[in-house]
Amino acid sequence: MHIGIDLGGTKTEIIVLSSQKQEVYRKREATDKKSYQQVLQQLTRLVREAELELSADCTIGIGIPGTLSPDHGNVKNANSTVLIGHPLDRDLEALLHRPVKIANDADCFTLSEAIDGAGSGAQSVFGVILGTGVGGGIVINNTILDGPNRICGEWGHNPLPWPTHLDLPARACYCGKSACIETYLSGPALEHQYQGLTAQTSPTEAQVIAALATSGNAEAQQVLEAYCHRLAKALASVINILDPEVIVLGGGLSNIQKLYDEVPEQLQRFVFSDSLNTKLLPNRYGDSSGVRGAAWLGMAGKVN
Q: Check pLDDT > 90 for residue 235.
A: yes
Residue 89 Cα distances to 86, 95, 123, 219, 303, angstroms: 9, 10, 29, 47, 10
pLDDT digits (tens, 9 = 90+) for 109-120: 999 999 999 999
pTM of the entire predicted model: 0.91
Check residue 18 and give left, alpha or beta (phi > 0: left; psi -120 to 50: alpha): beta
Percent of the chain predicted with pLDDT > 70: 98
Give the chain's mean pLDDT.
93
Q: Are 144 and 138 in contact (CB under 8 A)?
A: yes
Q: Where is average pLDDT lowest: 54-63, 93-102, 197-206, 249-258?
A: 197-206
What band does 186 get if pLDDT is binned at 50, 70 and 90? very high
Q: Check pLDDT > 80 for residue 83.
A: yes
pLDDT of res. 9 = 80
Percent of the chain predicted with pLDDT > 90: 85
pLDDT digits (tens, 9 = 90+) for 253-288: 999 999 999 999 999 999 999 999 999 999 999 888
Q: Which residues touch 99 (CB under 8 Å, ≥6 apart)?
A: 59, 60, 93, 301
Domains recognised in the chain with CATH numbers: 2-108+287-300 (3.30.420.40), 119-283 (3.30.420.40)
pLDDT of res. 265 = 95
pLDDT of res. 35 = 94
Phi, psi for residue 7 in degrees, rounded to 5: -90, 95
